Amino acid sequence: MTPATDRSSFEAKASRIRLILLDVDGVLTDGTILLHPDGTESKQFHIRDGTGIVLAQRAGMLTGLLSARVSPATMTRAAQLGIRIVVQGVTSKLQAYKDILQAHELRDVDVCYMGDDLLDLTVLSRVGLSAAPADAVPQVRERVDWVAATGGGRGAVRQLVEEILRAQRRWDDLLADYLEDAHV
């Protein structure tokens, strides 16, 4: 949370979330893009962020990616995680966001968006719950409801999902499922 957002305000906003929408570069990755001599690229994704996305889906939430860049690595990771909303290569993140809302019959208050850079500000300013990784640019960190303790590509998404699920009183049930499986 940022100083402007107290715990009760965060919980009120988080309790309404139905879609967790994420930027990719700088949020699900550390922002590094490795360009190979053959023109292909690769990215690193943190396994805990993937676990967080799966936990959100198990709790019945929609998950999605919204990126200005087009990347085959993003599509591959989205497919691995079962992310159904994947929008890439957009010139206006705000228009793409509006299209997502309309397609899924959602309102701003239903959406949490995590972004890390200036391109994300238009969406961050509209959503019901805004979030950023710890290493987001200052102009983003200053304007969001919640800031992760870790940077992009380092588990920030996982932290966000847990906080939302705790606010929705779903975390303990999900945790109990894992603890029950551990005693089989």
* Per-residue model confidence as pLDDT tens digits over 27-39: 999 999 999 999 9
Q: Give me the half-sphere count of Cα atoms (radius 13 Å) on the Cβ side of residue 152.
A: 23
pTM summary value: 0.93
Residue 80: count of CB within 10 angstroms of its CB: 12
What would the pLDDT profile of 161-173 be if each residue is shown by its tens digit?
Answer: 999 999 999 999 8
Least confident of 111-120, 121-130, 173-182: 173-182
Both tokens of 19, joined, read 């879609």
At 178 the pLDDT is 77
CA distance 16 to 32: 33
Would you give the distance in Å from CA 70 to the centre of its chain? 17
Tokens of 172: 């303990």
Average pLDDT (50-66) is 97
* Beta strand 34-35 pairing with 41-42: antiparallel
Name every residue whose Cβ is closer than 8 Å to that of residue 143 and which is 6 or more positions away in sequence. Answer: 121, 124, 125, 130
Mean pLDDT for 76-91 is 97
Question: What is the rounded CA–CA span in Å between residue 166 and residue 172?
Answer: 8
In the numeric block, the tokens 């799966």 are attached to 54
pLDDT of residue 136: 98
Q: What is the pLDDT of residue 43?
A: 95
Inform me whether the pLDDT recorded for 105 exceeds 70: yes
User: What is each CA distance from 20 to 23, 53, 79, 85, in whole angstroms?
Assistant: 10, 8, 16, 10
Q: CATH for 7-182?
A: 3.40.50.1000
pLDDT at 177: 80
